[in-house]
């Protein structure tokens, strides 16, 4: 095999022993890489019903066949586990040197099972792995810990780590690196903490062999050139994802006051232009020529900013100044907690205070109060810190406040208000990890196309996006932003894939693999929960019950009958039954006969 390394390392942290799993060409062609690998590995190797924070859970890191080769944005990997936040399949995507070095260690994936007896660093080298003591690192924030790791292992090492949130098993904890990269919103950082692994260090050093190295270098050079010629390249380098703040506000989709409104009175203090005025650094993932890591300085440190974090920790809390939102975002990166999840639980607490349910929570716009509460959440301090640290689904259950809890399947909603966006609501409803835009950012299409309609055309568009974003990009694993933001044609990825692996993939093959992995992930959820209903795919109640009161779309809210019709069409198009369970015939068509027999015993299958 070329392009793939053909091997995964399975490390048992309880016994400090490793095994190499050599997988064959059929596995590679069916699951391709990244999320395809993590989903299949979790289905096959995770004991059914495993406690997400127990030693039986698996922490899986998987790169793809483009990772580490030249090309636009190929230094990414998928981190996955059974989620302690949702109880279902959870994954995320992190960019950085770690992805490249993992592959240079001779592996496409690393699977960690068990738990180390004491705080450790997992060091992965060509051919194997070992645990090294990390008592001196436990408790450190992510920036300081990474600085020390680089002193110990060298500047060129690939590093993934957790902050105090992961150590404290906060289910909103992510895996972080390089002072501004984060992945694994469904609590993957807490899974790493439960294994007492403060950091994974990939030393790399080996070679990546492409099927056609010369051809790969040529195609990559052409693709890089194409990226830099795109009309939006200049704006992208200046503002990155922060350009979306103004766009979201203009289109009434900016989350404001815990997703109560979609517009702000004055967005100019917190938008991409505000970033341009304060920006002190731009950097990106390795091998990327469209860097998007924009930093400003706050409290003597650099805070790397992106749309999601700023929207959720700014307007969503009625904090309207970029520096204030950046303070909260920096705290999230130092402590290794998801900025989106943090924004949702803080917004929930502020609204609960307004409604007279939580007198000790901060008021809207109270930056100091939000910073203090965020620390309490990370350290699970006090009753409120402990309550919110478990995520918004748990907190709302305790407070009987489901009507303003912004989540799907237990994962907090990302930064797009959906009162007037039924397609995006369905994207959140059907995302395979809970409310996340990563699989389908249909909102940008929807605001220009039949915005308020509930149509089958929207459902088809959504599935098309899920195949590209949740499939192609999460399999390869390549950054999707050159395609989304700069309009790079998808054809480049087929060319890169051919040169890397020698296989002439067609889009149809990739879409079939995406459908296979979607069905498999849904099966994982059903197996682990032991039951299923279409309510699991239902967006937050607030968007149906409490209309927007400001902006051009005031009065807008979602229609439950319209949403239900779209959900039924979605199931039909996917070959799933009215409960949202894949049909036997669908699973068989996708080559998942073994999955069908397991599910039959759990919920029964429709033909």
What tokens appear for 451 in the block?
């915005």
Give the C-alpha separation, 86 to 100, whole Å. 30
Instruction: Provide the CB-side half-sphere exposure for 332 (13 A, CA).
Output: 35
Specify the residue for token string 């389908």. Answer: 440
Question: With respect to ligand SF4, which residue has the nearer C-beta, 27 or 233?
Answer: 233
Q: Does position 3 bind ligand SF4 by CB under 6 A?
A: no
Q: Does position 99 bind ligand SF4 by CB under 6 A?
A: no
Question: With respect to ligand SF4, which residue has the nearer C-beta, 256 or 481?
Answer: 481
Interaction partner, residue 284 (ligand SF4, ligand PTT, none; CB < 5-8 Å by kind): ligand SF4
Q: Does position 332 bind ligand PTT by CB under 6 A?
A: yes
| Spatial contact of 120 and 137, defined as CB atoms under 8 Å apart | no
Q: What is the total count of residues that contact ligand SF4 (CB under 6 A)?
A: 11
* Among residues 40, 82, 101, 185, the one that binds ligand PTT under rule CB under 6 A: 185
Could you tell me which of 559, 557, 321, 317 has the C-alpha nearest to residue 417? 557
Spell out the alpha helix ranges (H) of 136-243.
Answer: 142-153, 164-167, 188-194, 213-229, 233-239
Interaction partner, residue 291 (ligand PTT, ligand SF4, none; CB < 5-8 Å by kind): ligand SF4
Measured over the CA atoms of residue 103, residue 92, residue 50 and residue 191, the dihedral's sign is positive
Could you tell me which of 35, 96, 22 has the C-alpha nearest to residue 65? 35
Q: Does position 86 bind ligand PTT by CB under 6 A?
A: no
CB of 457 to ligand SF4, least distance (A): 30
Binding mask 287-316 for ligand SF4 (x = CB under 6 A): -x-xxxx-----------------------
Q: Does position 514 bind ligand SF4 by CB under 6 A?
A: no
CB of 84 to ligand PTT, least distance (A): 14
* Among residues 119, 166, 180, 272, the one that binds ligand PTT under rule CB under 6 A: 180
* Among residues 94, 203, 322, 352, the one that binds ligand PTT under rule CB under 6 A: 94
CB of 221 to ligand PTT, least distance (A): 21
Residue least distant from ligand PTT (Cβ): 92
Question: With respect to ligand SF4, which residue has the nearer C-beta, 166 or 284?
Answer: 284
Give the C-alpha separation, 560 to 558, whole Å. 6
Spell out the alpha helix ranges (H) of 19-77.
Answer: 25-31, 35-45
* Among residues 18, 86, 241, 430, the one that binds ligand PTT under rule CB under 6 A: 241
Q: Does position 1 bind ligand SF4 by CB under 6 A?
A: no
Question: With respect to ligand SF4, which residue has the nearer C-beta, 100 or 481?
Answer: 481
β-pairing, 197-202 with 120-125? Answer: parallel
For 298, the enclosing helix (H) or strand (E) is strand 293-298
Beta strands in 236-364 (DSSP E): 279-283, 293-298, 301-305
Give the C-alpha separation, 361 to 365, whole Å. 12
What tokens appear for 522 in the block?
């849904």
Give the C-alpha separation, 101 to 97, whole Å. 6
Question: Given the rule CB under 6 A, which residues bind ligand SF4?
Answer: 73, 95, 284-285, 288, 290-293, 479, 481
Question: Given the rule CB under 6 A, which residues bind ligand PTT?
Answer: 76, 92-95, 174, 180-185, 241, 304, 306-309, 332-333, 337-340, 438, 473-474, 477, 479-481
């Amino acid at each position: 095999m070329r392009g793939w390394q053909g091997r995964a390392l399975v490390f048992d942290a309880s016994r400090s022993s490793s095994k190499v799993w050599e997988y064959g060409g059929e596995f590679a062609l069916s699951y391709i890489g990244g999320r395809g690998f993590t989903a299949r590995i979790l289905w096959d190797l995770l004991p059914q019903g495993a406690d997400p924070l127990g030693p039986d859970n698996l922490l899986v890191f998987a790169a793809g066949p483009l990772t580490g080769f030249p090309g636009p944005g190929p230094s990414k990997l998928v981190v996955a586990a059974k989620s302690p936040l949702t109880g279902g399949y959870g994954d995320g995507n992190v960019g950085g040197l770690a992805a490249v070095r993992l592959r240079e260690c001779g592996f496409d994936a690393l699977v960690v099972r068990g738990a180390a007896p004491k705080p450790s660093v997992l060091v992965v080298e060509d051919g194997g792995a070992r645990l090294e003591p990390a008592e001196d690192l436990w408790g450190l924030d992510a920036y300081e810990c990474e600085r020390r790791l680089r002193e110990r292992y060298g500047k060129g090492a690939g590093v993934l780590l957790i902050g105090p949130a992961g150590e404290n098993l906060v289910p909103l904890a992510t895996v972080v690196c390089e002072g501004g990269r984060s992945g694994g919103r469904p609590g993957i950082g807490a899974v790493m903490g439960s294994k007492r692994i403060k950091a994974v260090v990939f030393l790399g050093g080996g070679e990546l062999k492409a099927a056609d190295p010369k051809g790969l270098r040529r195609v990559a050079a052409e693709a890089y050139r194409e990226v830099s010629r795109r009309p939006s390249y200049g704006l992208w380098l200046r503002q990155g994802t922060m350009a979306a703040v103004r766009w979201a506000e203009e289109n009434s989709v900016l989350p404001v006051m815990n997703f109560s409104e979609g517009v702000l009175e004055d967005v100019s203090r917190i938008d991409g232009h505000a970033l341009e005025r304060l920006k002190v650094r731009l950097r990106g993932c390795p091998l990327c020529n469209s860097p998007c890591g924009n930093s400003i300085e706050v409290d003597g440190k650099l805070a790397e900013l992106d749309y999601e974090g700023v929207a959720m920790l700014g307007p969503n809390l009625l904090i309207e100044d970029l520096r204030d939102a950046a303070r909260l975002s920096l705290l999230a990166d130092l402590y290794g907690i998801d900025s989106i999840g943090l924004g949702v639980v803080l917004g929930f607490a502020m609204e609960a205070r307004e409604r007279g349910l939580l007198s000790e929570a901060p008021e809207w716009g109270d930056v100091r109060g939000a910073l203090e509460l965020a620390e309490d959440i990370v350290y699970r301090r006090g009753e409120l810190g402990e309550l919110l640290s478990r995520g918004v689904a748990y907190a709302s259950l305790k407070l009987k406040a489901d009507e303003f809890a912004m989540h799907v399947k237990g994962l907090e909603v990302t930064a797009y208000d959906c009162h007037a966006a039924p397609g995006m609501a369905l994207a959140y409803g059907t995302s395979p990890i809970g409310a996340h835009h990563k699989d389908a950012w249909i909102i940008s299409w929807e605001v220009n196309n039949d915005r308020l309609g509930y149509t089958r055309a929207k459902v088809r568009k959504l599935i098309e996006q899920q195949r590209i974003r949740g499939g192609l990009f999460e399999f390869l694993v390549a950054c999707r932003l050159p395609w989304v933001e700069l309009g790079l044609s998808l054809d480049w990825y087929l060319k890169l894939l051919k040169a890397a692996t020698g296989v002439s993939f067609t889009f149809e093959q990739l879409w079939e693999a995406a459908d296979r992995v979607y069905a498999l992930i849904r099966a994982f959820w059903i197996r682990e929960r032991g039951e299923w209903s279409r309510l699991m795919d239902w967006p937050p109640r607030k968007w149906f019950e409490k209309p927007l009161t400001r902006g051009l779309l005031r009065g807008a809210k979602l229609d439950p009958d319209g949403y239900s019709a779209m959900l039924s069409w979605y199931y039909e198009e996917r070959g799933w039954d009215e409960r949202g369970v894949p049909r036997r015939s669908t699973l068989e068509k996708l080559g998942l006969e073994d999955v069908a027999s397991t599910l039959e015993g759990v919920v029964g299958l429709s033909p």
